[in-house]
Amino acid sequence: MSSPSPPARQPLPEQRTLAILLLIVAGFAILGVQLVWQATKGQGRARLSISEPIARSFARPDIVDRSGRLIATDLEAPSLFADPALILDVDEAAEKLAAILPDIDQVQLRSTLADRSRRFVWLRRGLSPRIAQRIHDLGLPGLAFRREQRRSYPLGTLAGHIIGSVTIDNRGIAGIEKFIDETVGVEAILGAKPAAKVPVQLSLDIGVQFALEDELVRATRHYAAAGAAGIILDATTGEVFAAASVPELDPARPGQTLEAARLDKVTASTFELGSIFKLITIADALDAGAATADTVIDVRTPLRIGRHLIRDLHPAGRPLSVREVFTQSSNVGAARLALAAGSDRQRAFLDRLGLLRGGRTEAGIIAQPNVPLRWGEVETATVAYGHGLAVSPLRFAAATASLLNGGLQIEPTFVRAGNPARPPGPHSAMRVVTAETSAVLTTLMRRNVTLPTGTGRRADVAGYEIGGKTGTAEIAIDGKYRGDQVLASFVATFPASQPKYVVLVMLDRPQPAPDTAGQITAGHNAAPTVARIIARAGPLLP
C-alpha cells in the first residue's frame, strides 16, 4: 500500500504579491532600458513628423495715418496646401490646379505632389476667396486650406516707400513694416488670429501724401524727368506729413524694391543738391558774425582755385550783397563766403546740422552722405553751392527746418507723437543757429520768392507767404558734370512770418517743357511744382 502523496506546497500570499511586483518592475525596467537605448542611439525606425511650424505666420498691428485712416491691415485669407500622400492622381490634380492658377509652375507642382514622403506642402498662399472656392469645388483629395493673416494695403501704392513690405510669412522686411517687427513686435500665430496691439499711427496725412505724389507724378511727366522726390515736414517737430519718391513702389509687390529706378530717393539715396546749399553757407556766415545780409562781396569775375574756375550762371557784373548772392544764386559769392569761413568751420557747421551723418528713421536707414575724400579749398568752395557733397533729401529738409524754425535742431520722424511706437524725444533741442540768424534766413527765403528777379518767384502762392531757394545741380556722368543733365530742386518754407512747414522737391534730369522757355533750371520746373503742391496740400495740413 502506498501512502498518499503530500499536497503541493502553495506559495504564501505575500510571496505571490512580491512576485507580481517584481514582474511589473522588471517590465518597466525593460521599457526604461529600451527608451534610454533609443534616445542615446537615435537609430530607431520611429520618425516624428512635425509639419506645423512651417505653417506659422505672424499677426501685425494696423498702420494708420495721423487722422486714424487705415493704411495697412491684416486680412484673413485662405492658403492652399497639399498632403501628397493623400493625392490619388498627381497628373489630374496638377492639371486641374493649373487651370485655376495659370501662373503656377506645373513641372514643380507635379514634382511636389508626387513626393509622397512629405505630408505638408504649401501650394499657394494668400488666395482670394473666389479662387479658393473654385479650388475647393474641384473636390480633389489631399488638398486643403489654412486660414492665414495676409498684409493688405488698401491705399495701393500710396506712401509705398515709407510703408515698406512684408514676407510671405507676414514678417516686415522694409520701411515701417520692418520698424514694427523690430520695435513694436509681431505675434506668432497659427491660423488667422488678428493682432491685439495698438495701431501704429504715422505722422503722414494720406490727403497730403496723395497731393504730393500726384503732383510729383504730373511734374515727372510734364518735364519728362527720370524721377522725382518730395517731402513735406513740420519745421518745429520734425514730423513728416508726406514723403514720396517717383516712380512709386507697391508695398504689396516687394520684388519692385530690386528695380533701381524705384529706390527711395528721399532717405536711401544721396544727391548733390546744388544751390539750395547756399542757404547753409549763408547761415554759417551770418551766425558766425562773418557777414551780414548787407555785406558786399565781389563777384564780378569768376573765382579761380588752382585749375578750377568757379563762375556764375548769370554773372551780375557788379559786387553783390549777401542778400543778392542768395536771391541771384551766385556761386562765386557763396564760394567766397565759404572760403572766408574756412573748411574746418564749414565742416563743423554741416556736422551740427546733421548733414555729415546718415542715421535712421522709423522708415529705414538714412543714407550716409558722400563727403569729399580731401576737403581742401576747392571742395570748400564747391560744397558752398551744393557740389562735391551728396546728402539725402530728408537730411537736407531737416537741416533747413532746423535753420528756419528759430534755430533749434529737429530730427525727422514718421511716427506721430504720443503713439506707443515712438519713444519720447529729448526735452530740449540743440540750438544750431541763433533766432536772429534764423529770422534773417527766413526773410531771404521770402525775398527770393517775392522779388521779380528772385529765382524762386514761380513758387509764390497767394496767401501762403512762401519763401524758398532753387538749386540746379549738374549731374556727374562718368566723372564729368554735364550741363544738360541736372537735378532741379526747390526748398520752401511757409508761412514765412513764422515757418511751420518745410517743403523740398527734387526733379531728376528734367527736360525743357513748353512753359519753361527751353530752360531746365529749378526756377522753371521745381519751383512751380512746389507752388502747385502747396496750393493743393496747404488746406489739408494740420
Q: State the residues that interact with another protein by CB under 8 A.
A: 69-71, 73-76, 152, 154-156, 158, 192-194, 206-207, 210-211, 214, 461-464, 535-536, 538-540
Q: Using CB atoms within 10 A of its CB, is residue 169 exposed (0-12), middle (13-18) or buried (19+)? A: middle
SS3 of residue 442 by DSSP: helix
Kindly state the smallest distance separating residue 248's Cβ from another protein, in Å. 11
CB contact at 8 A, 241 and 232: yes
Residue whose cell numbers read 518754407: 493
**CA distance from start to end of the chain:** 127
The answer to whether 150 touches 129, Cβ cutoff 8 Å, is no
Nearest distance in Å: CB 463, another protein:
3
Grid cell for residue 7: 499536497
Bridging pattern class, strands 172-174 and 143-152: unpaired
Beta bridge partners of 288: none
Which residues make Cβ contacts (< 8 Å) with residue 256, sequence separation at least 6? 249, 250, 262
Q: Minimum CB separation from another protein for residue 158, in Å?
A: 7
Of 157 and 392, CB closest to another protein:
157
Residue 438 annotated as catalytic: no
Quote the least distance from Cβ 210 to another protein, whole Å.
4
The nearer residue to another protein, 316 or 541, going by C-beta atoms, is: 541
CB of 375 to another protein, least distance (A): 44
209 or 472: CB nearest another protein: 209
Kindly tell me which of 73 and 330 has the beta carbon lying closer to another protein.
73
Q: Counting Cβ atoms within 10 Å, is residue 32 exposed (0-12), middle (13-18) or buried (19+)?
A: exposed
Of 203, 275, 392, 402, the catalytic one is 275
Q: At what angle do helices 278-287 and 343-352 cross, to 10 degrees?
A: 100
Q: How many CB atoms sit inside 10 A of residue 213's CB?
A: 23
List, in sequence order, the alpha helices (H) in 241-359.
278-287, 322-327, 331-341, 343-352
Least distance from another protein to the Cβ atom of residue 148, Å: 12
CA neighbor of 157 nearest in space, from 64, 250, 229: 250
Q: Which residue's CB is nearer to another protein, number 155 or number 263?
A: 155
Contacts of 134 (CB under 8 A, 6+ apart): 100
3-class secondary structure, 149: strand
Cis omega before residue 528 (within 30°)?
Answer: no
Please say whether the beta carbons of 470 and 522 come within 8 A.
yes
**Shortest distance, position 532 Cβ to another protein, whole Å:** 11
Beta strands at 200-201 and 63-64: parallel, antiparallel or unpaired: parallel
Question: Judged by CB, which is closer to another protein: 207, or 454?
Answer: 207
The owner of cell 501724401 is 209
The residue to which cell 513641372 is assigned: 107
For 3-55, give the secondary structure using H, E and C. Answer: CCCCCCCCCCHHHHHHHHHHHHHHHHHHHHHHHHHHHHHCCCCCCCCCCHHHH
**Residue 293 near residue 411, CB atoms below 8 Å:** no
Nearest CB to another protein, comparing residues 136 and 193: 193
Whether the Cβ atoms of residue 381 and residue 338 lie closer than 8 Å to each other: yes
* Shortest spacing between CB 540 and another protein, in angstroms: 8
* Shortest distance, position 240 Cβ to another protein, whole Å: 17
Which positions are annotated as active-site residues?
275
